[in-house]
A and B are shown apart, each in its own frame.
Chain A
Amino acid sequence: MSQVNEMQAQLRKVAAELLENDTVGYIIGWGATRFPDRTTPVFIHEAKDADKLMWNEYCVNGLAKYVLDDKIKAKKIGICIRGCDSRAINRLIIDNQIKRENVYLIGLPCEGKADKIKCGKCAHKNPVIHDVLIGDLVAETPVTDRFKAVEDQEKLTSDEKHAYWKGVYDKCIRCFACRNVCPVCSCKECFADQYRVGWQGKQNNSTENWNYGLTRSYHVGDRCVECGECERVCPMDLPLMLQNRKMLKDINELFGDYECGLSEEDRAPILGDYDLSDRDEFM
């Protein structure tokens, strides 16, 4: 715990310096709420406010998405990133959503947060990209059960699978929290908002919800950085990563080992690319 406190002190110091010497316009980090076991994203504009930044086991929220809110980018945006956020930032850079030079990355090695479901299968505890590192890198252990839940699911019969997912999508209230929090959901206009065009019906039933859920999983599947934010924010606690990881598992099996956003020069998204030697099942 004391090491965490040290990191928080160092984070505040670095943040104050960055703001003082005008390296960044503001810093996106975590700050206090009314509740000791929750933090909220904060936007620190002045050095004197750097003490509002927090670093503890409750810094759960992903922050990468907020970079997209700033359309002007007059100055660099400072942003606190953990392993998952760093992969998301990389992904946004590859997808031409942000430019590397517009962000200043404050890396924070992370031992996992209070949300065990979100952080349970984390393979990259250290930021894979950063401009400054707070604290020391932590030991990373390979994840052996990345696709365990997917494999279990695959063993079900067709009808069992359908019953399972129908149950899931029956519960969905389509609040779009999963989409809005997802760092790689960066479309300017989502298909799910185009009711008038007809990509998505606005009625809430398991069929329309499935249409939304499956399309979203498929659309972000090849760019998913496995931050688990969708699952964390779901007010109905739906197992959304179970759908996303199925895509990742198949991608790994069909197109080779794949983890998204590990570097700035990462490969194009799997579905935005092809290889002549890809397996062919449609002959």
Chain B
Amino acid sequence: MNTRRDLIKQGALLAGLLAGVLPLQAGAAEALAKSAFDAKTLDELYKALGLGKPVESKEVQLSAPDIAENGAVVPVTIASGAANVVRMLVLVEKNPSVLTASFDVSPAVEAAFQTRVKMGQTSNLYAVAITADKKVLFAQKEVKVTLGGCGG
């Protein structure tokens, strides 16, 4: 299906994006401050990342189950259609550390990721998209963590 010409065009497009718009990965946003993983609250986290006030946005999508049969594995899908997203975060409000995972959004990947996280208890889950001009957009959802099995 793909002709050589298409591929060259696509490759050139990609290279152009990489070279022109944003330097790759770590450079895109500055490297994630490692102290971010020590943040106990959402406020602490945004402070550690030097970010302003987050805004709930329809440009961020978060998919997670309403109920988790086991808090050890909660599937989470995040995505954003906002312009110039450079980083996406998965946060669990009531975990000992709120930041669970950070994904660099280089021009070579879509701003859409799926992973699985641990939740110690029923909590709000956040998907956060950070743009090149430091806008902080988020979506949230409560996930109920249930007691399973025989409880023994």
Q: Is B a genuine binding partner of A?
A: no
